[in-house]
Structure formats: structure tokens, C-alpha cells
Amino acid sequence: MENDSIHLRETPDLLTQEEAIRLLRLDRLGLRDPRESLWHLRRTGQLGYVKVAGKVLIPRVKIAEYLVRQAIEPG
């Protein structure tokens, strides 16, 4: 693993948008604009978030829930 990778269990309870982008690896998927992709997930209700002092933060549990919903079962 690379030194700048983020592991879900090692992250703070509330992540900045940049931390969420790295955790979801949106910055490594060849997307034109990873921030736009994260915004789309938030806007469409696929990824929950909170605002603290006007700043968007993504609860770690919401990322875990999103990943569970995206899982594809074999078969």
C-alpha cells in the first residue's frame, strides 16, 4: 500500500471532503473532477454528510454504509 492511502478504521469520525475523496479513491479512478463526483454522491443522497461551522464533513459511518450498498455479491 502507498504511504498516502487511508484505511477506513484509521480515519477520524468526520472526514473533510479531500479525505473522503482519498478514502473512496475517487482521485485514483481517472475521473475528470473527483470533487464533482463527491458532490454528485452527496446531492443525490447516496452519501450522507454534515455541516459544521459551514464546512461539509463526511461521517466515516456514512462512507462505510455507502460502500456496503455498492457491494456486488457474486453469483
- Count CA within 13 A, CB hemisphere, residue 39: 4
pLDDT at 1: 42
Q: Is 45 exposed, middle or buried (0-12, 13-18, 19+ CB in 10 A)?
A: exposed
Please report, for the chain, the start and end positions of each structural domain, with discontinuous segments joined by +: 14-70
pLDDT at 52: 93
Q: What is the pTM of this model?
A: 0.80
Segment-wise mean pLDDT, segments of 10 residues, the chain, 75 residues:
56 89 95 97 97 96 95 89
